[in-house]
Amino acid sequence: MKNMYSIKKNIYIFFLYFFLIFLLLFDLVFTKYQYTHTFFIKRNQTLSDITENLYKEKIINNKFFFKLTVRLILAEKVLKAGEYKFYNNNIFQIIKKIKIGDAFQRKITIPEGLTSNQIIDIIKKTDGIFLNQEESKQIVEEGALFPSTYFYVYGTNSNIIINNMKKRMKSTLIEAWQSRDKDLELNNYNDVLVLASIIEKETSLNYEKSRIAQVFLNRLRLRMKLQSDPTVIYGIENESGIKKKELTKNDLNHKSSFNTYLIHGLPKGPICNPGKESIIAATNPSKGDLLYFVADGEGGHNFSSNYQKHIENVKKFKEFSMEKYEN
């Protein structure tokens, strides 16, 4: 009698495992779930809650099998909260993702040439990045944040993003400084940052940046004023809070430690957060005797090494602008 009970028990276990193996093969071979939006698992959610939500979202189509599988692999207590995205996954891949916390990676892209305040505003408005009261009042130094694309998971603290940007800027400056031109007449990588920020605001064309750097470094060497319009704009906006769309002649007389029409040398600090190309240009400028540049009306600049040629280029730009306005 005891042997009969044992045989029945073994048969039951055999069919149970056979059934589970059948479900496993069925799920692996036939059942795929296409999912085009993200799914959230909140902290302290029960397995039943997670299962129900997955079923409602049509990410799984068998609640019993999902629960059973989670319990059989002892994963019920280790399912991690977060934001997940499933695409063409079977149940076992879904469980594995949640078990190891393979959360969906969001991204934030910061363009070159923004001020630190502008970057912080972007971070504040980015979905999935969280700030508390103290961090929202945090003041970040100008030029400290490296423009790039950063990946994060939902719920990331803004401090993590900001600190990563600071580290990237510092490492980029150190690397550029170590690889600088042997004849570079700048004192340290902070000077590089200041010059790179001006270059960044003067042109968006990477191929022009080393020539812009050449102009400014030649001017510094000759003790000529840099006379960079973006430094005037930054001084006015930063110190008075007035946004400037166009500069006037009166603006060029605005007293500011950033106004390079009035002061000699570099301004007291950076005027934006420059990108890698501008930093490299500041440390490895093109060689030559260029001293002037003016917009060519088509997005670039005309360069010259003497004032007479510069005046001619200015005249060309004015004529081009007039023709464009009349047409």
Q: How far is CA 203 from CA 143, 229, 298, in A?
A: 17, 12, 12
pLDDT at 322 over 80: no
CB-CB contact of 121 with 138 (8 Å): no
Q: Which residue in the block uniquely carries the two structure tokens 């609640």?
A: 63
Q: What is the mean pLDDT of residues 111-129?
A: 95
The encoded tokens of residue 88 equal: 């063409």
Average pLDDT, the chain: 88
**pLDDT given for residue 69 in this prediction:** 86
**pLDDT given for residue 62 in this prediction:** 84
pLDDT-based confidence at 17, cuts 50/70/90? low
User: CATH assignment of 27-100, given 3.30.1490.480, 2.30.30.40, 3.90.79.10, 3.20.20.70?
Assistant: 3.30.1490.480
pLDDT by residue (tens digit) across 251-281?
A: 999 999 999 999 999 999 999 999 999 999 9
Neighbours of 176 (CB within 10 A): 21
Distance CA(204)–CA(6), nearest Å, equals 80
pLDDT-based confidence at 162, cuts 50/70/90? very high
pLDDT-based confidence at 68, cuts 50/70/90? confident
Cα-based angle 242, 244, 249 (whole degrees, multiple of 5) = 110
Write the secondary structure of the chain as one string of H (helix), E (strand) and C (coil). CHHHHHHHHHHHHHHHHHHHHHHHHHHHHCCCEECCCCEEECCCCCHHHHHHHHHHCCCCCCHHHHHHHHHHCCCCCCCCCEEECCEEECHHHHHHHHHHCCCCCEEEECCCCCCHHHHHHHHHHCCCEECCHHHHCCCCCCCCCCCCEEEECCCEEHHHHHHHHHHHHHHHHHHHHHCCCCCCCCCCHHHHHHHHHHHHHHCCCHHHHHHHHHHHHHHHHCCCCCCCHHHHHHHHHHHHCCCCCCCCCCHHHCCCCCCCCCCCCCCCCCCCCCCHHHHHHHHCCCCCCCCEEEECCCCCEEEECCHHHHHHHHHHHHHHHHHHHHC
Distance CA(144)–CA(116), nearest Å, equals 7
Q: Higher confidence at residue 155 or residue 228?
A: 228
The encoded tokens of residue 144 equal: 């400290």
% of residues, the chain, pLDDT over 90:
61
**pLDDT given for residue 244 in this prediction:** 82
The encoded tokens of residue 301 equal: 């600049």
The encoded tokens of residue 116 equal: 């630190």
Distance CA(119)–CA(273), nearest Å, equals 9
Distance CA(39)–CA(87), nearest Å, equals 11
pLDDT-based confidence at 294, cuts 50/70/90? very high
**pLDDT given for residue 86 in this prediction:** 85
pLDDT at 29 over 60: no
Q: What is the mean pLDDT of residues 61-72?
A: 87
Distance CA(17)–CA(26), nearest Å, equals 14
pLDDT by residue (tens digit) across 69-95?
A: 899 888 889 999 999 988 777 788 889
pLDDT-based confidence at 15, cuts 50/70/90? low
**pLDDT given for residue 10 in this prediction:** 67
Q: What is the mean pLDDT of residues 164-176?
A: 97
pLDDT at 169 over 60: yes
CB-CB contact of 278 with 267 (8 Å): no
**pLDDT given for residue 57 in this prediction:** 86
pLDDT at 21 over 70: no
pLDDT by residue (tens digit) across 194-240?
A: 999 999 999 999 999 999 999 999 999 999 999 999 999 999 998 88
**pLDDT given for residue 253 in this prediction:** 92
% of residues, the chain, pLDDT over 70:
84
pLDDT at 305 over 90: yes
Distance CA(77)–CA(99), nearest Å, equals 9
